[in-house]
Amino acid sequence: MAGFLTEFKNFAIKGNMVDMAIGVIIGASFNAVVNTLVKKVIMPPLSILTGGNDFSDMKIVLRAASDNVEEVAIGYGDLFNVFLDFLIVAFTIFIVIKGMNRFRTQAEDVSNEKVETPKNIELLSKIEGLLEEQNALLRKQKE
């Protein structure tokens, strides 16, 4: 039992669980930002363009409400809102990852002096250069 608890402690502390918790917290906060952006910034101008209609109220009524029966309707306006939320989140994540990849590419480029290259990349680059020199010498010897 002590081994299991030690293994769980190592898992939780080494970053996997901490990173995941941070991601969930930031994701929840980001969700609130996106919801506000869509509902309060993007949707009002779109509703003006569509004649003042609120997208969340748009629906196809299959059966109207009566005294003891609730309305049955397909709420395609809510689907549109959720789809717009998804597009904003996907676009934002795309931009963030694109920026991260650009910085990673710059960091891995040994010839780029603006960004400090990690030591392991520098060493691998030097090893690659030495292997190319060695292969060139071996080719010359065979000729």
- pLDDT (tens digit per residue) in 38-53: 778 887 887 788 777 6
Q: Which phi and psi angles does 61 have, rounded to 5°?
A: -80, 120
Q: How far is CA 80 from the centre of its chain?
A: 21
pLDDT at residue 33 tops 70: yes
What would the mean pLDDT of 13-30 be, rounded to a whole number? 79
User: What's the CA gap between 40 and 44, in Å, rounded?
Assistant: 7
Is the model's pTM score more than 0.75?
Answer: no
